[in-house]
Each structure stands twice: as C-alpha cells, then as structure tokens.
Structure 1
Amino acid sequence: MTAATDVLTDALGRVRENVHAVVEGLSRDQLAERLDPDANSIAWLVWHLTRVEDDHVAGVAGTDQLWQADGWAGRFALPLDGNDHGFGHSREQVAAVVVDGDLLTAYHDAVHARAVEYVESLTDDDLARVVDRRWDPPVTMAVRLVSVVDDCAQHVGQAAFVRGILERR
C-alpha cells in the first residue's frame, strides 16, 4: 500500500460508515419515501452510489461487477435493466427502487470490501496509469477513484439530508 491508497481506503470506509448510519433503523417505506415526486429516496441514493462504486471499480480493475456476478441484481429484483446504475433515471425509475435496508447495506458492504481489496493492491505507478482517454486530460486511476469517492460522499450526504427531514416530520 501507499499513502495515497491509505487515503482512498479511509475515504471509502467513511462512505461505508455513513451508508450504515443513514439506513439504520429505517423501514422499507421510509427508505423509499420521497420529499417530492421528483426527489430521490434514501433507497435510490444508496443503491445508486453503490452501483456507481461497483461499476467504476470493476471497470478499472477489469473484473465483473458484483451486481451481476454475485447475483445482487436478482436479489434486488428491480424492474430495471440489469446493467442500470441510475444515471438519468426518471421519477418512475427512482420510485421503482424499493428495498429493505439490510439488502442495501449488504450489497454496499460487498462492494466496499471488493473496492478496498483492489485499492490496497495498487502502487503509485498503478495510480498514475491512464484508464480513460475519452476526457481531456485523460483520466488516471487515481482521478477515477477520487471521482468514485466524491460521488459516493455526495449521495450519502444527500441521503442523510433526506433522513434528517423525514425524522422531523
């Protein structure tokens, strides 16, 4: 491990802690509740951030996503495409993500464990490797992983905000 991978591992761990905190003790209905017909639910936000982490880490690692490979798509049984991770979802698609908290956190824990295992295997040279040339400048492994952490942190923060409002109703 390197100092950079230590930081990434710590950041991913903080996301995991916050995912558990935001989901803990909420019912399926509370997780699916939306503050507005166009708003995202806690369930959708946690599912989406976990799908993004699964998709992006698998992409740079050159592995299959746990969503399909470990049968999470079947366990969630959502009426969505099997490769869906939530980008551009309509209000109907957001509303379709209705699941129990235990399932959400179990999937997140599996994705987190795999991401940490992968990140801990990286060297400074790995982090400097270009993984996506579609951008200018091209995206390195480090930049992609920071983007994953940033996206996850934003979404878990949004979920915590929704939870705070729901608790005050």
Structure 2
Amino acid sequence: MSAANDILLDAYDRVAESVPQLLDGLSTEAAAWRPAPGANSIGWLVWHLTRVLDDHLADVAGDPQVAVSQGFEERLGLDLPSGDTGYGHSSDDVAKVRFDDLGVLAEYHAAVQQQVAGYLARAEHFDRVVDERWDPPVTLSSRLVSVADDMARHIGQAQYVAGLWEQQENG
C-alpha cells in the first residue's frame, strides 16, 4: 500500500467515525428537522453523503453498490427512485428522506465504508480517467478527493444542524 492509499483511508475514515457519533442518540424527529424552509436535514445530509460515497466508489472500483447488493434500499424504506443519490433534490425530495430507525442509516454507512476501505487499500493508477463527461476528464485521484471533500462538507453541515437542533430544544 502506498502513502496515497494511507492518506485516502485516513480522510475517509474520519467521516466514517463521525457518522455514528452524530447519529447515536439522535431522535428521528431531530434527524428530519430542517432549520429553515428549503434547508437540508441531518438525515438527508448523512444519507446523501453515504449515497454519493456508495455510488461513486462502487463505480470506480467496479463493485456493486451496497444499497442494492446488501438490501439497504429496501431497509431504508425511502420513497425515492432506485439509485437516487440526492443530487438535484428539491425541497420536497429532501422532505421525503425520513427514517423510522437511524440505526439502519448508520449500518448502511458502515457497510459502504467497509467496502470503500477495501477498495482504497488496493487502489492504484490514480491518473486513470474514470469519467469522460467532464472537461477535463475526471481522473481517479480527482474523483477520490472530490468525494472526500463532499463527505467532509456534508458531515460538517449535519453537525452544525445538530447543534442548531440542540440549541432550539434546550432554549
């Protein structure tokens, strides 16, 4: 394993550690709360960062998405199309992302992270083009850094919303 693999694993692991810390003890009401009209909820942010991680890393690794292969689409029970990652969601779509059991969301994230960590440990050829729909085409290194950046932003947003929720509840 190279230094690049180690660095990527560390970056991805940091979000993986933050997700259960955020969700542990959080009520489903808090997870669905939106601090302003049109804002994203904690549940949506964690689900979205997990879906993007699952979708994008399965694609570059040539692996099946955990959402489908391990039955999480059904277990999460969301009223969304199969394969939806949340990209381009309207306010109404965000409102559909509500969970009866946040434990399933945490399990989904852990399962995705486990698959991703296995891939990141063996990833190579970081200059390989993985998406030609962009100009310039996206390389594996760019995709991996982009996903890490997206996850870090979304977990930070979710933690911020959790702080707003707590402040509102505690007056």
TM-score, normalisation: structure 1: 0.95
Instruction: Report matched runs for 1:49-60 at 5 Å.
Output: 49-60=49-60
Q: Which residue of 2 aligns with 1:149?
A: 148
Q: Which residue of 2 aligns with 1:69?
A: 69
* 1:113-143 alpha-carbon deviations (Å, 9 max, x no partner): 10010010123xx212111122222211111
Q: Which residue of 1 aligns with 2:12?
A: 12
Q: Distance in 1 between matches of 2:83 and 2:131?
A: 20
Please say if 1:102 is aligned against 2:103: yes
Q: Which residue of 2 aligns with 1:39?
A: 39
Deviation at 1:72, TM superposition (A): 0.4
Q: How many residues align?
A: 167
Please say if 1:163 is aligned against 2:162: yes
SS of 1:127's partner is: coil
What runs of 5+ residues in structure 2 fail to find an aligned partner?
Answer: none
Identity %: 50
Aligned structure 1 segments of 4 or more residues deviating by more than 2 angstroms:
none
SS of 1:128's partner is: coil
What runs of 5+ residues in structure 1 fail to find an aligned partner?
Answer: none
Counterpart residue identity of residue 160, structure 2: F
Counterpart residue identity of residue 164, structure 1: G
Q: Which residue of 2 aligns with 1:131?
A: 130
Q: Which residue of 2 aligns with 1:113?
A: 114
Q: Distance in 2 between matches of 1:155 and 1:24?
A: 17
Deviation at 1:97, TM superposition (A): 0.9
Q: Distance in 2 between matches of 1:95 and 1:132?
A: 31
Q: Which residue of 2 aligns with 1:21?
A: 21
* 1:77-111 alpha-carbon deviations (Å, 9 max, x no partner): 11100111101111111111111221111000000
Counterpart residue identity of residue 49, structure 2: L
Stretch moving more, 100-109 or 51-60: 100-109
TM-score, normalisation: structure 2: 0.94
Q: Which residue of 1 aligns with 2:88?
A: 88
Q: Report the RMSD for the aligned CA atoms in angstroms.
A: 1.0
SS of 1:35's partner is: coil
Q: Distance in 2 between matches of 1:143 and 1:151?
A: 12
Q: Which residue of 1 aligns with 2:139?
A: 140
Q: Distance in 1 between matches of 2:83 and 2:137?
A: 25
